[in-house]
């Protein structure tokens, strides 16, 4: 991946390029930030820049043999570690590691460098399980990195989502990450430093990847879609600096009318305190797929934000259009300083429980009942 293909993040790109030009690259670097902000694409772009045989002061050349291999993710000195688990094809007895899924990983990453954890699990069929980086993976890493590089000056190991590494694996890799073989680099790309084992965290140079600038997301939208300026800014604002979320919002646009109807029904029914209707609403939402449920919750949070902006007479920073805008203006008095924090907290809790495979019927019922209490504050 070229640096020019990474969305936004110009300051970090320039800093990374400068470290290579100055010959002071750290042997272990941790790219961390919110999902979809570009941690993995930056690690890939840096790897390609290092391997490139004709790099410039701004980017890899994109056409040399090394760049051609990197574009397909088949460079022999590039290695990956990603969270995996047992599947129908790879049983637990086979001790699943990344190499069992490397072709699926390459295909998925080439198609979408901003791939999310859940999207990866769906690719390999473990969407109802938790992926992990096990001690078996650590043994495979040690074995690979003991070999000399095949073509390039460096060997590069990219570990995606190091927060999924268990303690045994981390302990096995500590010495290797602290004192790697000569000309060996570790690039870790994760989302949550609080969940990364501290001994691993302390051995890598942290690079905080901030949310993507809104203008960069708008530019990307204009490049890929025929879309009005108002809609582009609304979507970019709702994406909150995440290209993954922006992509999901685009996919969800066809469903947004249904989301709007479900959101409006919840709030009207909650205000009326109609218990049977609230239970019926929760029952219907519980039958949706998990990703669709999450998308609805994100949509609802955006609508709540828009309503609060109107409530505080800040309509100039709201982005609702058409039917949504009309609803937001009428609904805004009910999202106010007395309840807005609690309402958002309940939606955040619902998202977290979904991500932890919580029972959808229970969590949506709980959310609906709490809205009936909070909406009248």
- Report CA Rg, the chain: 23
- The encoded tokens of residue 282 equal 């929760």
Cα–Cα distance for residue pair 14/12, rounded to 1 Å: 5
| pLDDT over 50 at 317, yes or no | no
What value does the mean pLDDT take over residues 208-219?
Answer: 95
Cα–Cα distance for residue pair 295/299, rounded to 1 Å: 6
- The encoded tokens of residue 197 equal 């084992």
Cα–Cα distance for residue pair 356/113, rounded to 1 Å: 24
Return the SS3 of 160.
strand
What value does the mean pLDDT take over residues 306-312?
Answer: 84
Question: Which of 93-97, 111-115, 222-226 shows the lowest per-residue confidence on average (mean pLDDT)?
Answer: 222-226
- The encoded tokens of residue 322 equal 């058409």
Do residues 74 and 178 make contact, with C-beta atoms less than 8 angstroms apart? no
Q: What phi-psi label fits residue 187: left (phi over 0), alpha (psi between -120 and 50 degrees) or beta?
A: beta
pLDDT for residue 266 = 93
Is pLDDT larger for residue 136 or for residue 257?
136
Do residues 236 and 221 make contact, with C-beta atoms less than 8 angstroms apart? yes
Do residues 182 and 145 make contact, with C-beta atoms less than 8 angstroms apart? no
pLDDT for residue 254 = 57
Question: Which of 193-202, 228-237, 363-372 shows the lowest per-residue confidence on average (mean pLDDT)?
Answer: 228-237
Average of per-residue pLDDT values in the chain = 90
Q: Which residues make beta-bridge pairs with 185?
A: 156
Domains defined for the chain, CATH in brackets: 3-208 (3.40.50.300), 241-374 (1.20.272)
């Amino acid at each position: 991946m070229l640096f020019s293909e990474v969305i936004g993040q110009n300051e970090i790109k320039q800093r990374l390029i400068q470290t290579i030009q100055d010959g002071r690259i750290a042997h272990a670097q941790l790219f961390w930030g919110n999902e979809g902000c570009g941690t993995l694409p930056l690690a890939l772009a840096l790897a390609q820049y290092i391997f490139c045989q004709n790099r410039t002061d701004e980017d890899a050349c994109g056409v040399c043999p090394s760049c051609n291999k990197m574009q397909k993710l088949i460079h022999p000195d590039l290695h990956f570690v990603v969270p995996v688990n047992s599947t129908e094809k790879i049983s637990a007895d086979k001790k699943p590691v990344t190499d069992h899924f490397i072709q699926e990983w390459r295909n998925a990453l080439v198609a979408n460098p901003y791939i999310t954890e859940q999207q990866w699990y769906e690719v390999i069929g473990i969407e109802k399980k938790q992926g992990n980086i096990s001690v078996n993976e650590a043994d495979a890493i040690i074995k690979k990195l003991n070999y000399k590089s095949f073509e390039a000056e460096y060997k590069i190991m990219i570990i995606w989502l190091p927060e999924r590494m268990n303690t045994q694996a981390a302990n096995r890799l500590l010495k290797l990450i602290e004192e790697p073989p000569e000309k060996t680099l570790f690039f870790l790309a994760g989302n949550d430093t609080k969940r990364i084992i501290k001994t691993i965290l302390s051995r890598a140079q942290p690079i905080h990847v901030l949310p993507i600038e809104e203008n960069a997301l708008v530019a990307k939208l204009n490049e890929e879609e025929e879309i009005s300026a108002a809609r582009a800014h609304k979507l970019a604002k709702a994406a909150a600096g995440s290209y993954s979320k922006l992509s999901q919002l685009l996919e969800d646009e066809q469903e947004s009318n249904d989301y709007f109807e479900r959101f409006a029904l919840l709030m009207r029914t909650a205000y009326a305190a109609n218990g049977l209707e609230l239970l019926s609403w929760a029952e219907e939402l519980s039958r949706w797929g998990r990703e669709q449920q999450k998308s609805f919750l994100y949509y609802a949070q955006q609508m709540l934000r828009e309503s609060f902006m109107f409530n505080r007479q800040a309509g100039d920073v709201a982005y609702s259009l058409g039917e949504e805008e009309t609803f937001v203006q009428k609904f805004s008095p009910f999202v106010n300083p007395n309840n807005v924090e609690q309402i958002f907290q309940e939606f955040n809790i619902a998202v977290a429980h979904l991500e932890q495979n919580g029972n959808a019927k229970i969590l949506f019922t709980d959310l609906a009942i709490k809205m009936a209490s909070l909406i009248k504050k």
